[in-house]
Homo-oligomer: A and B are copies of this chain.
Amino acid sequence: MRQIAFLLVAVTMVAGTVAYVLPASGQTHGEPTQIFVTKIPPGYRDFRLISVAHEEGNLNSLGAVLGNDVAIKAYREGKLPFPDGTIIAALHYSHVPSQENNKVFGDPQSFVPGSPTNVQFMVKDSKKYATTGGWGYAHFDKDGKPGTEAALQTCAPCHAKASRDSVFTQYAP
């Protein structure tokens, strides 16, 4: 379990997501004191490419980082902080050799996405997520199940270490 949590954190740190969000002040009447991004943003698979990512070690991950129109515009204009409405999606897959490619190549050098492992999101809403730098974080496993609270709690403080508005991923031209 501890290892699973670590993996989740690790993916989160680099690729850009997972959600543990405290509500803006003023919450009352028994509302939860933590807000998680619990729904997968619709249409994210049609977002445009920001970049790609490869993680070795225990993660063994190959991923794509996509952005909605607001995100792509901000990236291309170099606009920081990212404006409200920005959604960044990180699609992760296992990093597996391509038997077909390698056979043609004659060398075991080609790696492609294997099974999906998770999808993670960063959603910018400076009011709703004011206590975590304006970002809501989300993680969903391959079956769409959200990450655990314990894992989600690690997202924001780690992302805060990124030098560009809590976002690690840079735009690939």
Contacts and interface: CB of A to CB of B under 8 A. Distances in A.
Interface of A: 10, 13-14, 45-49, 51-57, 59, 62-64, 66, 91, 93, 95, 98, 100-101, 104-105, 107, 109-113, 116, 158, 161-163, 168-170, 172-173
Given A53-B110, A56-B111, A10 B105 contact: yes
Given A105-B14, A173-B116, A66 B53 contact: no
A170 B111 CA distance: 12
Contacts of A113: 51-52, 172
Given A91-B172, A104-B158, A53 B14 contact: no
Contacts of A116: 172-173
Contact of A172 (B53, B64, B170): B64
Contact of A163 (B100, B112, B162, B168): B100
Contact of A62 (B52, B161, B168, B169): B52
Contact of A55 (B48, B95, B110): B110
Contacts of A112: 51-54, 169-170
A105 B49 contact: no
Given A13-B105, A49-B49, A62 B57 contact: no
B64 A64 contact: yes
Contacts of A173: 45, 116
A40 B34 CA distance: 49
A106 to B, nearest CB: 9
A89 to B, nearest CB: 10
